[in-house]
Amino acid sequence: MTNTVNRQIQLSARPANYPKESDFDLVESPVSEPGEGEVLVKVIWLSLDPYQRGRMRASHPYATPMELGQVIVGGVVGKIVQSRTPAFTVGEVVEGPLGWQEFAVSDGNNLRRVDAGLGPLSTALGILGMPGMTAYFGLLEIGQPRPGDTVVVSAASGAVGQVVGQISKIMGCRTVGIAGTAEKVEYLKSGLGFDAGINYKTENVDAALTKVCPLGVDVYFDNVGGVITDAVFDHLNVGARISICGSISQYNQDEPEPGPRKMGLLVGKQARAQGFLVGQFRNQHEEGRQRIAGWIKEGRIKYREDVVEGLENAPGAFIGLMRGENFGKLLVKISEE
């Protein structure tokens, strides 16, 4: 271990509305020594995810908020460079919530060995990691699609949405994605095999849904909330299922929009809207991971990653994520594999 300096990105201020560079600090400190029973991990990949915005708030409905001066929480993939436990050996690649930093000490309880045979290491944070599991269980367990159903997914070109749409196609469903640029919508259709796409920034979503979902919507995988969700609710079929995954349209509002505004429509449609957390399926993640890896190997699922280089660029990339500038799963590469 030749490095002696650890660089971290810490939260320096709680963002007001959209985060900005001055909400983050790049701080240097000595690399910590692992104690008895611990390992030192050299981080290779950082995962940038919308939930991190919620953890920057002073209070959170179900998770612990970050403190000012704390390293930004987040999943990483890295390599064990020192081990003082028989549970891990030097050179093993692991995934875990070690935060935005170059080196981290862990007791190993929160680390998962990455199976490099399943795919590139970065996929352990994307399609074969938390976002992929979110898509798999959020669609299949909560959305319960049936062949012939129409499935609509919002934030469709992102880490979760791109996987939702492709699993929906495998399940034999008509699949419609909603995204924020023409390039993203074109990719959904010609790159990933979606049946139709809607650009919510340039199209009237309600009118577009009438056109591309002539038989109505049976499953809505909701990543965004707000006005897009309102528009989809007007197209639900009797017995529709809404898988409430996230509401990114509200994450940067200091005062969230009032809502849910069209919940009453679920009465007549005898529809079910159900929130979920990827962690509630943790005992089944391995099964989901193997199944998605199989689909990738068979060429039935593709994935797109958006890679930014350098720890110092993580805040800027995260700010971009909140504004839809990422195209696919957003990752920061901070050291060589």
* Per-residue DSSP letter, 34: P
Q: How far is the CB of 279 from ligand NAP (least distance, A)?
A: 7
Residue 277 as a binder of ligand NAP (CB under 6 A): the answer is yes
Which pair of structure tokens corresponds to residue 162? 């791109």
Residue 321 as a binder of ligand NAP (CB under 6 A): the answer is yes
Residue 145 as a binder of ligand NAP (CB under 6 A): the answer is no
Applying CB under 6 A, which of residues 125, 219, 232, 245 lies at the interface with ligand NAP? 245
Residue 326 as a binder of ligand NAP (CB under 6 A): the answer is yes
Q: From CA 57, how far away is CA 233, in angstroms rounded? A: 29
Site for ligand NAP in 190-229 (CB under 6 A): 223-224, 228
Residue in 45, 59, 57, 77 with CA at minimum distance from that of residue 11 = 57
Residue 316 as a binder of ligand NAP (CB under 6 A): the answer is no
Q: Does an H or E element contain 10, and which?
A: strand 5-11
Residue 78 as a binder of ligand NAP (CB under 6 A): the answer is no
Q: How far is the CB of 184 from ligand NAP (least distance, A)?
A: 6
- Window contacting ligand NAP (CB under 6 A); options: 5-13, 113-121, 310-318, 319-327: 319-327
Nearer to ligand NAP, 103 or 251 (CB): 251
Residue 161 as a binder of ligand NAP (CB under 6 A): the answer is yes
Long-range contacts of 9-13 (CB under 8 A, 24+ apart): 9/71, 9/72, 9/100, 9/101, 9/311, 9/312, 9/314, 9/315, 10/69, 10/70, 10/71, 10/72, 11/56, 11/66, 11/67, 11/68, 11/69, 11/70, 11/72, 12/68, 12/69, 13/68
Nearer to ligand NAP, 168 or 247 (CB): 247
Q: List all residues 6 or more positions away from 216 whose beta carbon is below 8 Å from its beta carbon.
A: 150, 235, 236, 237, 240
Residue 80 as a binder of ligand NAP (CB under 6 A): the answer is no
Coil, helix or strand at residue 165: helix
Site for ligand NAP in 42-61 (CB under 6 A): 49-51
Residue 155 as a binder of ligand NAP (CB under 6 A): the answer is yes
- Window contacting ligand NAP (CB under 6 A); options: 3-11, 17-25, 82-90, 245-253: 245-253
How much of the chain is in helix, strand and coil states, percent to nearest 5?
30, 25, 45
Cis check: omega of the bond before 86, within 30 degrees of 0: no
Identify residue 100 by its one-letter amino acid code: W
Residue 248 as a binder of ligand NAP (CB under 6 A): the answer is yes
Which pair of structure tokens corresponds to residue 99? 């935060």
Number of residues that bind ligand NAP (CB under 6 A): 30
Residue 181 as a binder of ligand NAP (CB under 6 A): the answer is yes
Applying CB under 6 A, which of residues 159, 219, 232, 292 lies at the interface with ligand NAP? 159
Applying CB under 6 A, which of residues 72, 94, 121, 278 lies at the interface with ligand NAP? 278
- Window contacting ligand NAP (CB under 6 A); options: 12-20, 74-82, 101-109, 180-188: 180-188
* Per-residue DSSP letter, 248: G
Residue in 10, 140, 151, 117 with CA at minimum distance from that of residue 72 = 10
Residue number closest to ligand NAP, CB atom:
158
Residue 180 as a binder of ligand NAP (CB under 6 A): the answer is yes
Q: How far apart are the first and last CA of the chain?
A: 15
Q: How far is the CB of 141 from ligand NAP (least distance, A)?
A: 12
> Which residue matches tokens 């989809």?
232
Nearer to ligand NAP, 31 or 133 (CB): 133
The string of DSSP letters for 290-316 reads: HHHHHHHHTTS----EEEEE-GGGHHH
* Interface positions with ligand NAP (CB under 6 A): 49-51, 131, 134, 155, 157-161, 179-181, 184, 223-224, 228, 245-249, 276-278, 321, 324, 326, 330
